[in-house]
Amino acid sequence: MRVQALDLELIPIKRSRQTLASILSVAFPIILLHDIRPGSTHPILLPPTPPATVTESRGFTSDEKSAIGTPSCNIDNPGTEGSRMYPLPPPSNPNNNKVQQEDLKTPDKHIVRDPRLIRLTGVHPFNVEPPLSDLYNEGFLTSKDLHYVRNHGYVPKVEDDEVMDWEFTVEGMVENPIKMSVASLVKDYEQVTYPVTLVCAGNRRKEQNVVRKTKGFSWGAAGLSTALWTGVLIRNVLTRAMPQRGARYVCFEGADKLPNGCYGTSIKLNWCMDPNRGVMIAHGMNGEPLPPDHGKPVRIIIPGQIGGRSMKWLTRIILTEAPSDNWYHIYDNRVLPTTVDPEQSANLPDVWKDERYAIYDLNTNSAPAYPAHGERLDLNNGLECYNLRGYAYSGGGKRITRVEITLDKGKTWNLANITYSEDEYRLAPEGEQLYGGRLDVSWRESCFCWCFWNLEIPVAALQTADDFMVRAMDEGMMVQPRDMYWSVLGMMNNPWFRVVIHKEAHGLRFEHPTQPTLSSFGWMERVKKTGDNLTNGYWGEKVSREEQDEVKAMPDEEISIINQVIHRNITIDELRKHEGKLEPWFLVNGQVYDGTKFLEGHPGGAASIFGAAGQDVTEEFMAIHSENAKAMMSDYHIGSLDKASKGIVASGEPVVPAKDAPPRATFLEAKSWSRAILSTKMRVSHDTKIITFTLEHPDQVIGLPVGQHLMMRLLDPVSRDTIIRSYTPISEVTEKGKLHVLVKVYYDTPECKGGRMTQALDSISVGHWVDFKGPMGKFVYLGRGLCSVSGVERRVKRFIMVCAGTGITPIFQVFRAVMRDSGDNTFCLVLDGNRVEEDILCKKEMDDMVLGQEHRCRLLYVLTKPGPDWKGLKGRMGKELFEREVEPRRPPKEGEHGEMVLICGPEAMQKSVHESFLGMGWKGEDLLFF
């Protein structure tokens, strides 16, 4: 059908909606208008038929349909004067939405997504914002396609026919614990619908990252969206659960599986019980079931607070007397004092746990959508005024009461016009039903949504200005600050939004401070690249006193990490060959580096580099490493990926392709990481635990030969650095489905820092994923005196095993293999050194194996600080002890098996053992250090 174009600019904006409806209904069967002219924010729906119901799209039973009711806008006939009109969601664009190429090799390969969304954290996990102009153009409500997404990991997969059976619990300090399905939530409680703007606490973070790198990734100014949410007020559910006296907080947990356990957070109980706060358990978004990225099938919606509190994929609601102890509640969504830098923050656990720094209510913020970044204004088109327009929001239920624009850096301000489309819903008739829920807005004084603002500025004024800036104020008189408050997580960034005006030959060009894409920059990046100081209080512009007194700028991240004289081209196949090899090559920004020379000097140990071998580690490297580390990279630069290989990486294909294979019989793989979930922690002493991990399936064996070790990898809960360390499990070789690791936790003390890995393992919770790789090591005990050392077999008639502390674990493995085999005639002498008796690990297990077999072994414990009842050896693991307890080396006769010393413990002990045994006539080839 050919449709005649209509010049909507000729229609007065205040003309009767009846007239406008009559004009448009001729051409369109259904129209949703959001911007009739610049600055207009009154959407108009012209439906020929009632909208589809929630029950129709969800596939509920007839009883559930009856409980929900039939959603309807209850909008009077558009041809009738005095119609009640309020915004409804913009239509989705299913033709463009599909499973994206980037997601095909990730756990999110089942999710349909809009290609316009801007990815902020690489391919996975999915963290995106829409283009700012597209977001604004959709109007007051955001389609599910363009709604921003913040995911910490992969999205739980829930089939449509599983939605109604999904269950969550209400537990903790309640008299009446509840286990509830989505079907019960829909059927047994009153349903409500209202609009809520969700905002990520990291909105506008890239501005902070340009000044100085924070621990968060770079959001632009579109980390927010507004939708109509349908569900049940949480106060109604909690009332039925009957909170106990003393309950003060409501904790939420989701179904996502993350490096630090499931995502969890909490808010105050009295906020949940306050109807003005509007905290909701939601199952619908814009009249449809929740999409996967937005919490399918059920989530929490908390109006006026940061998006990080609105839990997705809800599984548990727990009432407690204290805030959540979930890792993500403690180490995320905080504004630490600006004096705390990223390096200091790693050593300040008490600061992270201080609830004074936790973020709940949003602060006041605003940004212009038009002029857009890079937009040009032609001065020859005769336009007298330009309509500046954008958004503003506040938190805690407060309204924005003013938005102001300055063209002279804050000397004078102009008031903008504000439109609160949220108020359109307040005019709806009492009992209005929308998408299966009562439109619960009319009585509320609280403000749950953003507003739009606009201001007509004479073009002549823009021509004479260097920039314009925007600030907003809410009804609590909280106004956006002039300057940035930098903090280590880069959250709640809300200084004046400055747009630079460039004068060009035929017009003006507008430049925003930053852009979320890596390929486009704003004036902040430009200023920093020129060496000017963004922290001088003048937005990086030179001021007179700076000419005499040089101001040192913040560290510049744009440090060259390549060697300009290297011109070697390397194929992706060459790079892949170094995955898991002793010469670890890795990829950063398309450049290839050889980490071999830095294996000993790397602060994280050689395992950190081996873990990166053959991999593209651009995102992790650039996000974690300091300027000093980046400056060192040119020393290890060996070439660039060739053009074809760069194309493969750019397409999203992993450097080392994932293997599509059935579940493996063996858990460990030498060339790739395997993931297991932490299932239990058992305390065996004041500072030692046995941590058990569940493997991929119950019949899976670990695949670790006796005497070998594996590598463990996880993120530091505080610094978020990747930690990789070597461990020898205490699991039986034949055990299936489980992996047991003995961990002695070395805590920080006033005198020295403790162990990063052991403290990280101690702090993570059950349900946390940890990566493993192996087996590794040059020694394998094959049984009955037969060993393999670096692939060469040797026969041994006696082992001298010297260990201390957690060095017992590889010794324990070999000792157990010998003692469990009655046909093994290898003699074992074990010297186990510790400080006090309580520090002796695996003592009971070792003692039990010795009982009745004293002729096959000799087990000696040595303490440096024994108690008064200690009957064993005393002193240090030194020459005197070894000369007294270890028989001198007897060279084997021809055809006779030899002897071997197995050593594992602290470096000082290993050095002492080495010197002592060499002095006793032992050969270096007989000394094996684990």
CB 497, CB 392: distance < 8 Å: no
Instruction: Tokens 């980046």: give the residue.
Output: 630
Neighbours of 619 (CB within 10 A): 13
Q: Note if 857 is an active site residue.
A: no
Question: How many Cα atoms sit within 13 Å of 582 on the Cβ side?
Answer: 3
Question: 494 Cβ partners below 8 Å, 6+ apart?
Answer: 204, 363, 364, 365, 480, 481
Name the DSSP class of 361: B
Find the radius of gyration of the CA atoms of the chain: 33
Q: Note if 103 is an active site residue.
A: no
Closest CA to 453 of 404, 408, 497, 412: 404
Instruction: Return the SS3 of 320.
Output: strand
Instruction: Tokens 């153009």: give the residue.
Output: 137
Instruction: Tokens 């807005």: give the residue.
Output: 441
CA 43 to chain centroid, in Å, comes to 36
Tell whether 200 is in a known binding site. Answer: yes
CB 522, CB 515: distance < 8 Å: yes
Question: Which one of 200, 262, 451, 803 is the catalytic residue?
Answer: 200
Tokens (6 digits) for 25: 């209904």
Cα–Cα distance measured from residue 685 to residue 71, given in angstroms and rounded to the nearest whole number: 60
Q: Note if 332 is an active site residue.
A: yes
Cα–Cα distance measured from residue 38 to residue 735, given in angstroms and rounded to the nearest whole number: 69
Question: Which one of 286, 326, 333, 494 is the catalytic residue?
Answer: 333
Name the DSSP class of 664: P
Question: 5 Cβ partners below 8 Å, 6+ apart?
Answer: none
Cα–Cα distance measured from residue 823 to residue 801, given in angstroms and rounded to the nearest whole number: 20
Q: Is omega for the bond preceding 303 within 30 degrees of 0, making it cis?
A: no
Cα–Cα distance measured from residue 403 to residue 359, given in angstroms and rounded to the nearest whole number: 24
Using a CB cutoff of 8 Å and minimum separation of 24, what contacts does 165-170 make? 166/297, 166/298, 167/315, 168/298, 168/314, 168/315, 168/316, 168/317, 169/315, 169/316, 169/317, 170/237, 170/238, 170/241, 170/317, 170/319
Cα–Cα distance measured from residue 148 to residue 201, given in angstroms and rounded to the nearest whole number: 12
Cα–Cα distance measured from residue 18 to residue 24, given in angstroms and rounded to the nearest whole number: 10
Q: Can you name the residues that pair with 545 across neighbouring β-strands? A: none
Closest CA to 775 of 743, 731, 817: 731
Cα–Cα distance measured from residue 213 to residue 207, given in angstroms and rounded to the nearest whole number: 10
Question: 423 Cβ partners below 8 Å, 6+ apart?
Answer: none
Cα–Cα distance measured from residue 13 to residue 42, given in angstroms and rounded to the nearest whole number: 10
Question: Which one of 103, 332, 594, 832 is the catalytic residue?
Answer: 332
Binding residues: 200
Active site residues: 200, 332-333
Residue numbering of the annotated binding site for Mo-molybdopterin = 200
